[in-house]
Amino acid sequence: MSTLDSPERGPAALAGPAPRILVLQAPYYRDVVEGMLAGARRVLAGVAATVEVAEVAGGYELPAALAMALKAPGRWDGFLLLGCVVRGETDHYTFICDAICHGVMDVSTRSAAAIGFGLLTVDTLDQAIARSRDDRMNKGAEAAHAVLGQVALARRWGLAG
């Protein structure tokens, strides 16, 4: 494995019932986000997760949508956020990426929710496509592994279902 390869991950060991996962996706780059969602679905199918998908207008709306979803306690065991921001010619990219990342981290630490964060922040659309293909580099699959790990940890510590 080169340093550029993603690690092989096996299925998550989850105690309890199949997890209920809410996917919040910002489909501005629809093909990219759908590729990430397909990768995530493969991982989540391995634990028979129930998956609900909701779309938001763009990446900037992901933190607020997550905060809204958390107002329905017990409805979902974990949250998977998917989106893509491609660098342009202005500072907009930096401000948007910083706002999304800080917003999600703020909601995450305040709520202690199980979250998988799959936001691509790339220089080119080709880079995004490479990270949404049906292979080991699929960042949606990586984010799904992350949320399942967080759900497992919450259950281990008696914090969730």
- Partner residues linked to 86 by β-bridges: 122
- Tracing tokens 């281990």 back to the chain, one arrives at 156
**At 151, phi and psi to the nearest 5?**
-60, -45
92 is an active site residue = yes
Which amino acid, one-letter code, is at 128? A
What is the pairing mode between strands 115-122 and 20-25?
Answer: unpaired
Which amino acid, one-letter code, is at 79? F
Per the document, the length of the chain is 161
Catalytic residue among 92, 102, 110, 156: 92
Round to whole Å and give the CA distance between 1 and 44. 25
Query: Which positions are annotated as active-site residues?
Result: 92
